[in-house]
Amino acid sequence: MEPGERYQMPVSGTPWEVLEKELNCLKSNDIDWKHGKAAVFVHYAGEQALAIAKQAYTMYFSENGLGKRAFPSLEKLERDVIDMGLGLLNAPASATGFMTTGGTESIFMAVKAARDRFQTRHGQSRTPEILLARSAHPAFDKAAHFMGLKAIRTPLSSEFCADPAVFERYINHNTAMIVGSAPAYPHGVIDPIDQLATLSEQHNIWMHVDACVGGYFAPFVRMLGVDLTPFDFSVSGVSSISADLHKYGYAAKGASTLFFADPTLARHADYFFDSWPRGTYHTQTLVGTRPGGAIAAAWAVMNFLGIDGYKKVAQQITTCRQSLQDGLRDMGFNIWGDPKLSILAWGNDDQSKVHSVGNSLAANGWLVGYLTEPPGIHLMLNATHPDSLHDYLRDVRTALRSKGTSGPSGTTNEAGLSRGKTDATY
Protein backbone atom coordinates (compact mmCIF):
# COMPACT_ATOMS: atom_id res chain seq x y z
CA MET A 1 0.00 0.00 0.00
CA GLU A 2 1.16 3.53 -0.78
CA PRO A 3 1.51 5.94 2.16
CA GLY A 4 -1.87 7.50 2.91
CA GLU A 5 -3.74 4.93 0.86
CA ARG A 6 -6.84 3.58 2.57
CA TYR A 7 -7.02 -0.16 3.23
CA GLN A 8 -9.80 -1.69 1.14
CA MET A 9 -12.13 -4.57 1.95
CA PRO A 10 -11.56 -7.35 -0.62
CA VAL A 11 -14.33 -7.96 -3.15
CA SER A 12 -13.99 -11.70 -2.74
CA GLY A 13 -13.29 -13.43 0.55
CA THR A 14 -9.73 -14.35 1.47
CA PRO A 15 -8.92 -17.93 2.59
CA TRP A 16 -8.03 -18.32 6.26
CA GLU A 17 -4.64 -19.81 5.40
CA VAL A 18 -3.68 -16.56 3.70
CA LEU A 19 -5.08 -14.43 6.51
CA GLU A 20 -3.33 -16.49 9.17
CA LYS A 21 -0.02 -16.10 7.39
CA GLU A 22 -0.49 -12.33 7.19
CA LEU A 23 -1.47 -12.10 10.85
CA ASN A 24 1.61 -14.06 11.89
CA CYS A 25 3.75 -11.81 9.73
CA LEU A 26 2.28 -8.68 11.31
CA LYS A 27 2.56 -10.13 14.80
CA SER A 28 6.25 -10.87 14.30
CA ASN A 29 6.90 -7.14 14.75
CA ASP A 30 5.26 -7.08 18.19
CA ILE A 31 7.14 -7.18 21.47
CA ASP A 32 8.30 -10.63 22.62
CA TRP A 33 6.28 -10.59 25.84
CA LYS A 34 6.48 -14.34 26.47
CA HIS A 35 10.20 -13.97 27.04
CA GLY A 36 9.73 -11.16 29.53
CA LYS A 37 10.51 -8.27 27.20
CA ALA A 38 7.37 -6.34 28.20
CA ALA A 39 6.62 -5.30 31.77
CA VAL A 40 3.20 -3.86 30.95
CA PHE A 41 0.07 -4.75 28.95
CA VAL A 42 0.26 -8.54 29.46
CA HIS A 43 -0.39 -10.50 32.66
CA TYR A 44 0.61 -14.13 32.49
CA ALA A 45 0.27 -16.98 34.95
CA GLY A 46 1.57 -19.84 32.81
CA GLU A 47 0.54 -21.79 29.74
CA GLN A 48 -2.17 -23.83 31.46
CA ALA A 49 -4.03 -20.81 32.77
CA LEU A 50 -3.69 -19.11 29.39
CA ALA A 51 -5.05 -22.15 27.55
CA ILE A 52 -8.00 -22.45 29.92
CA ALA A 53 -8.84 -18.76 29.50
CA LYS A 54 -8.81 -19.21 25.72
CA GLN A 55 -11.00 -22.32 25.82
CA ALA A 56 -13.56 -20.80 28.17
CA TYR A 57 -13.65 -17.58 26.14
CA THR A 58 -14.25 -19.54 22.93
CA MET A 59 -17.14 -21.46 24.52
CA TYR A 60 -18.92 -18.14 25.06
CA PHE A 61 -17.49 -16.31 22.05
CA SER A 62 -20.88 -15.26 20.61
CA GLU A 63 -22.84 -14.82 23.84
CA ASN A 64 -23.63 -11.33 25.15
CA GLY A 65 -23.33 -10.45 28.83
CA LEU A 66 -26.12 -7.90 28.39
CA GLY A 67 -28.66 -10.65 27.71
CA LYS A 68 -29.27 -12.18 31.12
CA ARG A 69 -32.65 -13.63 30.16
CA ALA A 70 -31.17 -15.25 27.06
CA PHE A 71 -27.97 -16.43 28.75
CA PRO A 72 -28.68 -17.21 32.42
CA SER A 73 -25.43 -19.17 32.59
CA LEU A 74 -23.49 -15.92 32.13
CA GLU A 75 -25.45 -14.29 34.93
CA LYS A 76 -24.50 -17.21 37.17
CA LEU A 77 -20.84 -17.09 36.14
CA GLU A 78 -20.66 -13.34 36.78
CA ARG A 79 -22.28 -13.76 40.19
CA ASP A 80 -19.70 -16.42 41.07
CA VAL A 81 -16.84 -14.15 39.99
CA ILE A 82 -18.23 -11.28 42.07
CA ASP A 83 -18.67 -13.52 45.11
CA MET A 84 -15.08 -14.76 44.85
CA GLY A 85 -13.79 -11.20 44.54
CA LEU A 86 -15.84 -10.00 47.50
CA GLY A 87 -14.41 -12.83 49.57
CA LEU A 88 -10.83 -11.90 48.69
CA LEU A 89 -11.48 -8.27 49.60
CA ASN A 90 -13.03 -8.97 53.02
CA ALA A 91 -16.40 -7.57 51.99
CA PRO A 92 -19.36 -7.54 54.38
CA ALA A 93 -22.39 -9.72 53.68
CA SER A 94 -24.23 -6.70 52.29
CA ALA A 95 -21.60 -5.98 49.63
CA THR A 96 -22.31 -6.40 45.94
CA GLY A 97 -20.74 -5.65 42.57
CA PHE A 98 -20.64 -6.32 38.85
CA MET A 99 -18.17 -6.97 36.07
CA THR A 100 -17.03 -4.36 33.57
CA THR A 101 -14.81 -4.47 30.50
CA GLY A 102 -11.79 -2.85 32.15
CA GLY A 103 -10.38 -0.68 34.88
CA THR A 104 -11.29 2.58 33.19
CA GLU A 105 -14.93 1.49 32.97
CA SER A 106 -14.89 0.38 36.61
CA ILE A 107 -13.53 3.79 37.59
CA PHE A 108 -16.08 5.57 35.39
CA MET A 109 -18.94 3.76 37.09
CA ALA A 110 -17.55 4.43 40.57
CA VAL A 111 -17.27 8.13 39.73
CA LYS A 112 -20.78 8.10 38.26
CA ALA A 113 -22.14 6.50 41.43
CA ALA A 114 -20.36 8.98 43.70
CA ARG A 115 -21.52 11.91 41.58
CA ASP A 116 -25.14 10.76 41.55
CA ARG A 117 -25.10 10.19 45.30
CA PHE A 118 -23.69 13.69 45.80
CA GLN A 119 -26.33 15.23 43.53
CA THR A 120 -29.11 13.29 45.24
CA ARG A 121 -28.04 14.82 48.54
CA HIS A 122 -27.05 18.32 47.41
CA GLY A 123 -28.77 18.97 44.10
CA GLN A 124 -27.09 19.82 40.80
CA SER A 125 -26.11 23.44 41.37
CA ARG A 126 -22.60 22.58 42.60
CA THR A 127 -19.69 21.06 40.68
CA PRO A 128 -18.74 17.82 42.48
CA GLU A 129 -15.04 17.31 43.13
CA ILE A 130 -12.83 14.23 43.21
CA LEU A 131 -9.90 14.41 45.61
CA LEU A 132 -6.96 12.22 44.64
CA ALA A 133 -3.19 12.04 44.85
CA ARG A 134 -0.92 13.03 42.00
CA SER A 135 -0.08 9.34 41.50
CA ALA A 136 -3.70 8.24 40.93
CA HIS A 137 -4.66 6.90 37.51
CA PRO A 138 -5.74 9.40 34.80
CA ALA A 139 -8.99 7.46 34.33
CA PHE A 140 -10.40 9.53 37.21
CA ASP A 141 -9.63 12.77 35.38
CA LYS A 142 -11.08 11.26 32.22
CA ALA A 143 -14.28 10.34 34.05
CA ALA A 144 -14.45 13.80 35.64
CA HIS A 145 -14.06 15.39 32.21
CA PHE A 146 -16.87 13.33 30.70
CA MET A 147 -19.27 13.63 33.63
CA GLY A 148 -18.89 17.22 34.75
CA LEU A 149 -16.79 16.83 37.88
CA LYS A 150 -13.58 18.54 38.90
CA ALA A 151 -10.55 16.39 39.70
CA ILE A 152 -8.19 17.88 42.30
CA ARG A 153 -4.76 16.25 42.51
CA THR A 154 -2.71 16.67 45.67
CA PRO A 155 1.08 16.48 46.21
CA LEU A 156 2.58 13.15 47.25
CA SER A 157 4.25 12.46 50.56
CA SER A 158 7.97 11.72 50.77
CA GLU A 159 7.02 8.02 50.52
CA PHE A 160 5.41 8.60 47.08
CA CYS A 161 1.88 8.03 48.34
CA ALA A 162 -1.20 10.07 49.21
CA ASP A 163 -0.76 12.43 52.16
CA PRO A 164 -3.91 12.43 54.37
CA ALA A 165 -2.97 15.75 55.99
CA VAL A 166 -2.86 17.39 52.57
CA PHE A 167 -6.15 15.73 51.59
CA GLU A 168 -7.83 17.16 54.66
CA ARG A 169 -6.85 20.68 53.66
CA TYR A 170 -8.51 20.25 50.28
CA ILE A 171 -11.83 18.82 51.51
CA ASN A 172 -14.74 21.22 51.08
CA HIS A 173 -18.53 21.20 50.61
CA ASN A 174 -18.09 20.14 46.95
CA THR A 175 -15.97 17.04 47.64
CA ALA A 176 -17.94 14.08 46.30
CA MET A 177 -15.24 11.38 46.25
CA ILE A 178 -11.91 10.61 47.89
CA VAL A 179 -9.63 8.21 46.00
CA GLY A 180 -6.86 5.97 47.30
CA SER A 181 -4.79 3.56 45.21
CA ALA A 182 -3.77 0.01 46.06
CA PRO A 183 -1.23 0.37 44.64
CA ALA A 184 -0.75 3.56 42.64
CA TYR A 185 0.45 2.73 39.15
CA PRO A 186 3.56 4.99 38.92
CA HIS A 187 5.52 3.80 41.99
CA GLY A 188 3.65 0.66 43.09
CA VAL A 189 3.00 2.05 46.58
CA ILE A 190 -0.28 1.51 48.46
CA ASP A 191 -1.83 4.72 49.73
CA PRO A 192 -2.77 4.96 53.46
CA ILE A 193 -6.32 3.82 52.76
CA ASP A 194 -7.31 3.61 56.43
CA GLN A 195 -6.42 7.26 57.04
CA LEU A 196 -8.16 8.42 53.87
CA ALA A 197 -11.24 6.39 54.80
CA THR A 198 -11.29 8.02 58.23
CA LEU A 199 -11.49 11.39 56.49
CA SER A 200 -14.30 10.13 54.28
CA GLU A 201 -16.28 8.96 57.31
CA GLN A 202 -15.73 12.20 59.17
CA HIS A 203 -17.04 14.24 56.24
CA ASN A 204 -19.54 11.68 54.85
CA ILE A 205 -17.75 11.47 51.50
CA TRP A 206 -17.60 8.52 49.10
CA MET A 207 -14.31 6.61 49.52
CA HIS A 208 -13.09 4.68 46.49
CA VAL A 209 -10.11 2.34 46.43
CA ASP A 210 -8.53 1.89 43.02
CA ALA A 211 -7.19 -1.65 43.27
CA CYS A 212 -7.21 -2.27 39.53
CA VAL A 213 -3.60 -3.45 39.81
CA GLY A 214 -3.63 -4.94 43.31
CA GLY A 215 -7.15 -6.25 43.78
CA TYR A 216 -6.36 -9.78 42.62
CA PHE A 217 -2.72 -9.71 43.72
CA ALA A 218 -2.45 -8.05 47.12
CA PRO A 219 -4.79 -10.52 48.88
CA PHE A 220 -2.47 -13.39 47.97
CA VAL A 221 0.67 -11.46 48.89
CA ARG A 222 -0.96 -10.84 52.25
CA MET A 223 -1.64 -14.58 52.57
CA LEU A 224 2.09 -15.14 52.03
CA GLY A 225 2.74 -13.21 55.23
CA VAL A 226 3.73 -9.85 53.78
CA ASP A 227 2.65 -6.94 55.96
CA LEU A 228 0.56 -4.71 53.71
CA THR A 229 -1.18 -1.43 54.41
CA PRO A 230 -4.92 -2.23 54.89
CA PHE A 231 -6.69 -1.46 51.63
CA ASP A 232 -9.95 -3.39 51.27
CA PHE A 233 -13.43 -3.57 52.82
CA SER A 234 -11.89 -4.47 56.17
CA VAL A 235 -11.21 -0.72 56.38
CA SER A 236 -14.22 1.10 57.78
CA GLY A 237 -15.48 3.78 55.42
CA VAL A 238 -14.54 2.20 52.09
CA SER A 239 -17.49 2.65 49.72
CA SER A 240 -16.24 0.97 46.53
CA ILE A 241 -13.26 -0.90 45.09
CA SER A 242 -12.22 -1.41 41.47
CA ALA A 243 -10.13 -4.50 40.64
CA ASP A 244 -9.05 -5.78 37.23
CA LEU A 245 -9.47 -9.45 36.42
CA HIS A 246 -7.45 -9.13 33.22
CA LYS A 247 -4.41 -8.03 35.20
CA TYR A 248 -3.54 -10.27 38.14
CA GLY A 249 -6.73 -12.28 37.88
CA TYR A 250 -5.05 -13.57 34.67
CA ALA A 251 -8.36 -13.53 32.82
CA ALA A 252 -8.85 -12.66 29.16
CA LYS A 253 -8.80 -8.99 28.20
CA GLY A 254 -12.01 -7.11 28.77
CA ALA A 255 -12.66 -8.12 32.40
CA SER A 256 -12.69 -5.98 35.53
CA THR A 257 -14.85 -5.76 38.64
CA LEU A 258 -16.42 -2.97 40.64
CA PHE A 259 -17.53 -3.67 44.20
CA PHE A 260 -19.74 -1.67 46.57
CA ALA A 261 -20.01 -1.93 50.34
CA ASP A 262 -23.81 -2.18 50.10
CA PRO A 263 -26.62 -2.14 47.48
CA THR A 264 -27.71 1.41 48.32
CA LEU A 265 -24.35 2.63 47.04
CA ALA A 266 -24.43 0.34 44.01
CA ARG A 267 -27.82 1.68 42.91
CA HIS A 268 -26.21 5.02 42.12
CA ALA A 269 -24.36 3.30 39.28
CA ASP A 270 -27.61 2.25 37.57
CA TYR A 271 -28.84 3.89 34.39
CA PHE A 272 -32.48 3.70 33.30
CA PHE A 273 -34.15 5.03 30.14
CA ASP A 274 -37.68 4.39 28.88
CA SER A 275 -38.46 7.30 26.51
CA TRP A 276 -38.31 5.21 23.36
CA PRO A 277 -40.49 2.51 21.75
CA ARG A 278 -38.57 -0.51 23.08
CA GLY A 279 -39.36 -0.24 26.79
CA THR A 280 -37.04 0.21 29.74
CA TYR A 281 -33.32 0.15 29.06
CA HIS A 282 -31.24 -0.57 32.17
CA THR A 283 -27.51 -1.08 32.62
CA GLN A 284 -25.08 -0.91 35.52
CA THR A 285 -22.14 -0.54 33.16
CA LEU A 286 -21.04 2.13 30.72
CA VAL A 287 -21.24 -0.29 27.81
CA GLY A 288 -24.28 -2.29 26.76
CA THR A 289 -22.97 -5.37 25.00
CA ARG A 290 -20.35 -7.22 27.03
CA PRO A 291 -18.32 -10.18 25.74
CA GLY A 292 -19.60 -13.36 27.32
CA GLY A 293 -16.20 -14.90 26.71
CA ALA A 294 -14.52 -12.49 29.12
CA ILE A 295 -16.94 -13.45 31.89
CA ALA A 296 -16.49 -17.17 31.25
CA ALA A 297 -12.71 -16.92 31.03
CA ALA A 298 -12.49 -15.07 34.35
CA TRP A 299 -14.66 -17.68 36.06
CA ALA A 300 -12.63 -20.55 34.58
CA VAL A 301 -9.20 -19.16 35.47
CA MET A 302 -10.21 -18.28 39.02
CA ASN A 303 -11.52 -21.77 39.61
CA PHE A 304 -8.56 -23.40 37.86
CA LEU A 305 -5.86 -21.57 39.81
CA GLY A 306 -7.64 -21.41 43.14
CA ILE A 307 -6.09 -19.72 46.14
CA ASP A 308 -3.01 -21.96 46.07
CA GLY A 309 -2.37 -21.22 42.39
CA TYR A 310 -2.66 -17.48 42.85
CA LYS A 311 -0.37 -17.60 45.89
CA LYS A 312 2.23 -19.52 43.91
CA VAL A 313 2.31 -16.94 41.11
CA ALA A 314 2.32 -14.08 43.62
CA GLN A 315 5.33 -15.64 45.33
CA GLN A 316 7.20 -15.92 42.02
CA ILE A 317 6.50 -12.30 41.10
CA THR A 318 7.30 -10.76 44.48
CA THR A 319 10.53 -12.78 44.72
CA CYS A 320 11.48 -11.54 41.25
CA ARG A 321 10.68 -7.96 42.23
CA GLN A 322 12.87 -8.19 45.32
CA SER A 323 15.74 -9.65 43.29
CA LEU A 324 15.42 -6.82 40.78
CA GLN A 325 15.43 -4.27 43.60
CA ASP A 326 18.57 -5.78 45.10
CA GLY A 327 20.36 -5.96 41.76
CA LEU A 328 19.48 -2.42 40.75
CA ARG A 329 20.48 -1.02 44.14
CA ASP A 330 23.82 -2.80 43.83
CA MET A 331 24.36 -0.84 40.60
CA GLY A 332 23.67 2.45 42.38
CA PHE A 333 20.06 3.01 41.38
CA ASN A 334 17.27 4.08 43.70
CA ILE A 335 13.97 2.29 44.16
CA TRP A 336 11.28 4.94 44.31
CA GLY A 337 9.06 4.27 47.30
CA ASP A 338 8.62 0.98 49.12
CA PRO A 339 6.82 -1.31 46.66
CA LYS A 340 5.56 -4.60 48.05
CA LEU A 341 3.51 -5.92 45.14
CA SER A 342 4.28 -6.27 41.42
CA ILE A 343 5.22 -2.74 40.33
CA LEU A 344 8.77 -1.45 40.57
CA ALA A 345 9.99 2.05 39.68
CA TRP A 346 13.73 2.56 39.65
CA GLY A 347 16.17 5.27 38.59
CA ASN A 348 18.03 8.24 40.01
CA ASP A 349 17.96 12.01 39.90
CA ASP A 350 20.17 12.11 36.79
CA GLN A 351 17.62 12.13 33.97
CA SER A 352 20.29 11.78 31.30
CA LYS A 353 21.57 8.59 32.94
CA VAL A 354 18.05 7.13 33.09
CA HIS A 355 17.56 8.15 29.47
CA SER A 356 20.81 6.53 28.39
CA VAL A 357 20.06 3.25 30.17
CA GLY A 358 16.51 3.20 28.81
CA ASN A 359 17.71 3.67 25.24
CA SER A 360 20.19 0.85 25.65
CA LEU A 361 17.49 -1.46 27.04
CA ALA A 362 15.18 -0.57 24.15
CA ALA A 363 17.95 -1.35 21.68
CA ASN A 364 18.15 -4.82 23.25
CA GLY A 365 14.45 -5.46 22.68
CA TRP A 366 13.01 -4.43 26.05
CA LEU A 367 9.82 -2.37 26.10
CA VAL A 368 10.79 0.61 28.26
CA GLY A 369 8.22 2.59 30.22
CA TYR A 370 9.50 5.81 31.73
CA LEU A 371 8.69 7.50 34.99
CA THR A 372 9.05 11.29 35.09
CA GLU A 373 8.54 12.13 38.80
CA PRO A 374 11.26 11.32 39.76
CA PRO A 375 13.19 10.17 36.66
CA GLY A 376 13.04 6.43 36.35
CA ILE A 377 11.99 3.28 34.56
CA HIS A 378 8.71 1.55 35.35
CA LEU A 379 8.11 -2.21 35.54
CA MET A 380 4.89 -4.14 36.18
CA LEU A 381 5.97 -7.73 36.55
CA ASN A 382 4.29 -11.01 35.65
CA ALA A 383 5.22 -14.68 35.62
CA THR A 384 7.43 -14.32 32.52
CA HIS A 385 9.90 -12.11 34.36
CA PRO A 386 11.60 -14.52 36.77
CA ASP A 387 13.14 -16.25 33.73
CA SER A 388 14.29 -12.96 32.17
CA LEU A 389 15.52 -11.38 35.41
CA HIS A 390 19.22 -12.07 34.88
CA ASP A 391 19.12 -10.94 31.24
CA TYR A 392 17.49 -7.66 32.29
CA LEU A 393 20.06 -6.94 34.99
CA ARG A 394 22.86 -7.90 32.60
CA ASP A 395 21.59 -5.43 30.00
CA VAL A 396 21.32 -2.67 32.62
CA ARG A 397 24.95 -3.31 33.62
CA THR A 398 25.98 -3.23 29.97
CA ALA A 399 24.16 0.07 29.52
CA LEU A 400 26.04 1.57 32.46
CA ARG A 401 29.36 0.62 30.87
CA SER A 402 28.46 2.12 27.49
CA LYS A 403 28.10 5.79 26.59
CA GLY A 404 25.87 7.73 24.21
CA THR A 405 23.44 4.91 23.61
CA SER A 406 20.45 5.57 21.41
CA GLY A 407 17.14 3.86 20.87
CA PRO A 408 16.24 1.42 18.09
CA SER A 409 16.94 2.63 14.52
CA GLY A 410 18.97 5.52 15.91
CA THR A 411 15.96 7.11 17.58
CA THR A 412 15.92 8.55 21.05
CA ASN A 413 13.40 8.32 23.85
CA GLU A 414 14.40 11.70 25.30
CA ALA A 415 11.28 13.52 24.10
CA GLY A 416 9.04 10.85 25.56
CA LEU A 417 10.87 10.97 28.87
CA SER A 418 10.77 14.73 29.21
CA ARG A 419 7.08 14.99 28.32
CA GLY A 420 6.05 12.04 30.43
CA LYS A 421 5.09 9.90 27.45
CA THR A 422 4.64 6.59 29.18
CA ASP A 423 2.36 3.60 28.76
CA ALA A 424 -0.60 3.75 31.14
CA THR A 425 -2.83 0.72 31.39
CA TYR A 426 -6.41 0.18 32.55
**What confidence score (pLDDT) does residue 413 get?**
41
Q: Candidates 3.30.1490.20, 3.40.50.11900, 3.40.640.10, 3.60.150.10; correct CATH number of 54-302?
A: 3.40.640.10
* Sign of the torsion angle spanned by Cα atoms 108, 114, 120, 126: negative
CATH topology of domain 306-419: Aspartate Aminotransferase, domain 1 (3.90.1150)
**What confidence score (pLDDT) does residue 2 get?**
78
Q: What is the overall mean pLDDT for the chain? A: 93
Residue 355 and residue 364: Cα distance in Å, rounded?
14
Residue 378, helix vs strand vs coil: strand
**What confidence score (pLDDT) does residue 351 get?**
86
Residue 6, C-beta contacts closer than 8 angstroms, at least 6 positions apart: none
**What confidence score (pLDDT) does residue 312 get?**
98
CATH 3.40.640.10 domain span(s) along the chain? 54-302
**What confidence score (pLDDT) does residue 406 get?**
43
Max alpha carbon distance in the chain (Å)? 70
Per-residue CA distances from 163 to 133, 199, 236, 376, 421 (Å): 8, 12, 18, 22, 26
pLDDT along the chain (426 residues), means of 10: 86 96 95 92 95 98 92 97 99 98 98 98 96 98 98 97 98 98 98 98 98 98 97 98 98 98 97 94 93 97 98 98 97 96 94 92 94 95 95 95 51 40 53
* Long-range contacts from 284-288, C-beta under 8 angstroms, 24+ separation: 284/98, 284/109, 285/98, 285/99, 285/100, 285/101, 285/105, 285/109, 286/100, 286/105, 286/108, 286/109, 287/100, 287/101, 287/105, 288/66
pTM confidence score: 0.93
pLDDT tens by residue, 53-109? 999 999 999 999 999 999 999 999 999 999 999 999 999 999 999 999 999 999 999
Q: Are 328 and 393 in contact (CB under 8 A)?
A: yes
Residue 329, C-beta contacts closer than 8 angstroms, at least 6 positions apart: 335
Residue 145, C-beta contacts closer than 8 angstroms, at least 6 positions apart: none
CATH 3.90.1150.10 domain span(s) along the chain? 306-419
Q: Which of 138, 184, 176 is nearest to 159 (CA)?
A: 184
